[in-house]
Chains A and B, each alone.
Chain A
């Protein structure tokens, strides 16, 4: 159902019912750590729901939901050290939140305010990349900088399944392999690139095997199993830090939502297909596991939903209460020092704004 292939190794710890079917990694033996991951998934989905609602009511720009793919993002980010660098695509809100990007910053960004990218937390993380896959070489550059300075840090680049068709990604994997830079590439394979299904994106049996031509390890993981995603990413990061070079991880998930709020997936995808994928979504299985292991119950669930809802609502209100930047701010960050022609344009713009 998930399309996990036998031609490359694939990892799964929890099946869709939350039953342990693989090797539980060390962090998974600590219930508090699993609850922390669970909270991150729930918070991401709560944010997602609010963001879509804000967009539908004209209070947010076009928004790319991560519904159903939260475990890819959270799992990859949870494997990182704080001083690693995340170079994400536009659907990795969960990973960004885990890294310390605030809910308000995410709302601001998707609400059309550049200040949302001025992360107070992970200062060196890249903002999301909108042009598909063109951020993959940036991760190579970041990782190369770490290697040149002899730092034990690594870069994680998250791309979509569609991005694997791009030359930038092929180039980046190739260069990363040649230079053995400490980078990990995670594919959020959500089965759809807007309206084009995975099988029309590439004739390759798996996307993980794109690593073969770059001479780097490639593997699949159940992208709806946050424990597995974190575990394989931790292993890849450990290899990267040891100087053993990059890894390509294909996290197999499913896009339960439209591509963005500007999309209508019913034009190209049966609801029945979506319904078939709901039972495998990432939150349910971790909740089942935690419940069966007696680390979770209804009261804790209610308390968590309440807390996440309050946190997201507060951030949304904070965003909505934030006035837009003055027009003149658009001139202030084009260059470190404003050329005279820009100074003149800024003056004229401010004057025009004032008289409008």
Chain B
């Protein structure tokens, strides 16, 4: 076991996948000699050569489009989109082609590709580098959407995403790339792409979050514990398909739910979770479902981004309102 960061875990999973399966290849902007702007592909060129680690011209739509052609031919492309805001250029390819190739050919052609992109704010980046597009991708039938929140989960989920027979959008919380290190065994073990992770058990309240918001959420639970409120924390790392059962079971026990996400509130993924809880656990609810989310504004520039992103104080405040509801 070695203590590694989330971005190193991504790198380890890529190397492992390429090692165990010669069909796996990596392509994207600066993924070769530079090792990726965040170093996620560091060393892969040296290890696997330029046939399997391809620096692309700056053309995001075609990075996705070329991956579709490769995947239809039975290869396992892992495409890197350099920054969140540039992933939107791929959306046409993902919606119109990657997601539906299996369906429109009735299974004759498939698209086992992974589109990796950093996501979320908090690294004082310039414009278009800090968005949280997970709900937009989760709205597309035929793809899977994953957003890990720890090195170990990044490693296991990315391996499973690469091995998955269908297209997976894999969003990596930029803020967590180097925020923490943990022991990750490079044992090639994947994690299921359809199960939530319960990170902390609690009897009083269910907190649901994903990506970088897991840190703030866990931080909030410490303060809540000091107030004698034991909050359960569920990491929805696999946003699509959504493991409703784990959430519903938790809410059935606690009766109270706060959903935390960095993306804007309106039509955020929290709305989907709230809707499922309303139809699947309404009689268990002791209080209205609360959402702590980014505002319905543009993601601010670096000077004020900290005021935009939910923090432990906002989560605690929502949890208190929920607990106080009679």
Contacts and interface: CB of A to CB of B under 8 A. Distances in A.
A344 to B, nearest CB: 9
Interface in B56-90: 56-57, 59, 61-62, 64-75, 77
A124 B109 contact: yes
22 contacts: A114-B105, A115-B106, A124-B72, A129-B97, A134-B65, A134-B92, A134-B97, A135-B65, A137-B62, A137-B65, A137-B69, A144-B69, A168-B61, A168-B65, A168-B92, A171-B61, A333-B103, A333-B106, A340-B194, A340-B241, A340-B245, A342-B241
A32 interface: no
Q: Kindly state the interface size class of chain B when it binds its partner.
A: 35 or more
B5 interface: no
A127 B103 CA distance: 11
B45 to A, nearest CB: 15
A167 to B, nearest CB: 6
Contact of B61 (A167, A333, A337): A167
Interface of A: 85, 87, 114-115, 117-119, 123-124, 126-127, 129-131, 134-146, 148, 155, 167-168, 171-172, 174-175, 178-179, 330, 333-337, 339-342
Given A137-B61, A137-B93, A145 B108 contact: no
Contact of B107 (A148, A167, A333): A333
B108 A171 contact: no
A141 B57 contact: no
B253 interface: no
A336 B165 contact: yes
B104 interface: yes
A339 B166 CA distance: 12
Contacts of A333: 102-103, 106-107
Contacts of B93: 134, 137
B25 interface: yes
A334 B142 CA distance: 5
Contact of A145 (B56, B73, B97): B73
A145 B70 contact: yes
Contact of B108 (A123, A134, A138, A142): A123
Contacts of A137: 61-62, 64-66, 68-69, 93
A87 B105 CA distance: 13
Nearest to A342: B241
